[in-house]
Structure 1
């Protein structure tokens, strides 16, 4: 998650504001995201769940 956020140049605060997800806890490992949370994140980044779990060697998609 952190790598994806960094690729897009976003802060945790921005992502929290726009998704309502507990990004801080997901990134530091104190909580695991649910499948619903992952779906929200994928929707935000305009990627599929499959793309989320692939290695990060693809450019960010245009919004």
Structure 2
């Protein structure tokens, strides 16, 4: 049975953010201190992601939104 896109897309976004953070060697606290975004909640899928929040995180990770969504 296929999983609806509405279930898989948010999880893939969270996983990509987590991989970006780890690849750059940032801790959850460092990202929070720099952006004011509680990334731990997002990575635990305990908070809804807004596009504006994703844009801020992409800017912090030095990646465009277009690059972030490539291949999704």
Q: TM-score range by the shorter chain?
A: 0.7 to 0.9
In structure 1, stretches of 5+ residues that fail to align are 56-63
Point out the structure with max Rg over C-alpha.
2
Q: CA RMSD in A?
A: 1.2
In structure 2, stretches of 5+ residues that fail to align are 1-16
| Length, aligned pairs only | 55
Distance in 1 between residues matched to 2:36 and 2:48, nearest whole Å: 15
**More helix, by proportion:** 2
Distance in 2 between residues matched to 1:32 and 1:51, nearest whole Å: 21
Question: In 1, are the aligned partners of 2:21 and 2:61 still within 8 Å (CA)?
Answer: no
